[in-house]
Amino acid sequence: MVLAELAGRIGARVQGDSQRAVKGVGDLELLRVRDTQRRPDRDLIYYVESKKVLNENPVARECEVVLTTEALAANFQIALVVPDLEPRLAFIRLLEFFEAVPPAVHAPEPLLFVHPTAKVHESAVLGPGVVILGDAVVGAGCIIHANSVIEQNVQIGAGTVIHPHVVLKFGTRIGEQCIVHSGTVIGADGFGFYDKNNKRYKIPQIGNVEIGSHVEIGASVTIDRATIESTRVGNYTKLDDQVHIGHNCQVGEYVYIAGNTVLAGSVIVDDHVTMGGQSAISGRVRLAKGTFVMGLTGMAQSSEPGGMYFGIPARPAREMHKINNALGYLPTLLKRVAHLEEIAGVARAEEQRSPD
């Protein structure tokens, strides 16, 4: 691919040789941290987003072809140059161009089970081993990869991609243009039990799960069905790998949830909330709009709109950072207090206890 053609596809201008050919995209950061002796590949294009990236990666100046901004273009002889406010979008379009996803191929009929009452659009692609049970609906342009199970009364909107070994339990609803990665289970029973007189009762989970449109769900995610109505995930929300969403949760739109995060039952997550990895949200907590939960945080109380929280139990991030800084002084403070007690002749509490 020559730069002139590539520039037209991503909305850039060419600086230098417009007929220069490139074969792909190189990773500048990995070049720096993994192999300091290796030089940039002359057949790859490297992304230099900002002055900070340029300063942190001196080898960037040796790259023969880069994608960069107008403000940095003078540092390079050959470049695809984009406006200063839009480098990341151009980079996304560049990656999309070089993305090589194997085409989905419809499996032969003997390798599929599709119930007679299921409705599968003629443009949908089903991989080998796919099982689609009664009254399920698979929309136009959907791709259901190998060995996935679509149970009774599931509805999947147009253009949604279900990767291998996914299970959509009965009654699940998924909107349009979603992506569900391998190993995910949507609609398993919620964790509902009741103990009485030394007997443990299972509470029937008669609700379902409803997923909006343009949602991406990572690998090995679990989203439990509601006890009565619906566990919901809103439009454009993105879930990382190994996230768990408990029964009755209501997750809003444009939410980010990073890996290993756990939401207990009946959590409410308003729009535009971000949760860092390995966060834990207690049952019935509400995360208000715009809340940012830092990684390794345990939220036991509801948040304020736009608040940033950190720690276990969570506190506002600024307060928690002050507490953590103060902890560093404790050893010195203990020594000073012990010295003052010695001067004052004050015995410590453990020294005042009489022997047993």
- Residue 249 structure tokens: 């949760």
Report helix angle 3-10 to 87-98, nearest 10.
Answer: 120
Containing H/E element for 340? Answer: helix 330-344
Respond yes or no: is residue 247 known to be catalytic. Answer: yes
Fold of 109-318: UDP N-Acetylglucosamine Acyltransferase; domain 1 (2.160.10)
Task: Give the start-to-end residue ranges of the domains of the chain.
Answer: 3-98, 109-318
pTM equals 0.93
Instruction: Find the angle CA(93)-CA(215)-CA(294) to the nearest 5 degrees.
Output: 90
Please tell me the predicted confidence (pLDDT) of residue 66: 98
- Residue 181 structure tokens: 């990665």
Task: Out of 247, 272, 321, 339, pick the active-site residue.
Answer: 247
Please tell me the predicted confidence (pLDDT) of residue 35: 66
Look at the alpha carbons of 92, 97, 101, 103 in this order and tell me if their dihedral is positive or negative: positive
Please tell me the predicted confidence (pLDDT) of residue 158: 99
Averages of pLDDT over runs of 10 residues in the chain (356 residues) are 96 97 94 79 96 93 96 97 94 96 96 99 99 99 99 99 99 99 99 98 99 99 99 99 99 99 99 99 99 99 99 97 95 94 80 55
Closest CA relative to residue 293, chosen from 312, 322, 211: 312
Please tell me the predicted confidence (pLDDT) of residue 78: 98
Beta strands 199-202; 193-196: pairing state: antiparallel
Domain 3-98 has CATH 3.40.1390.10: yes
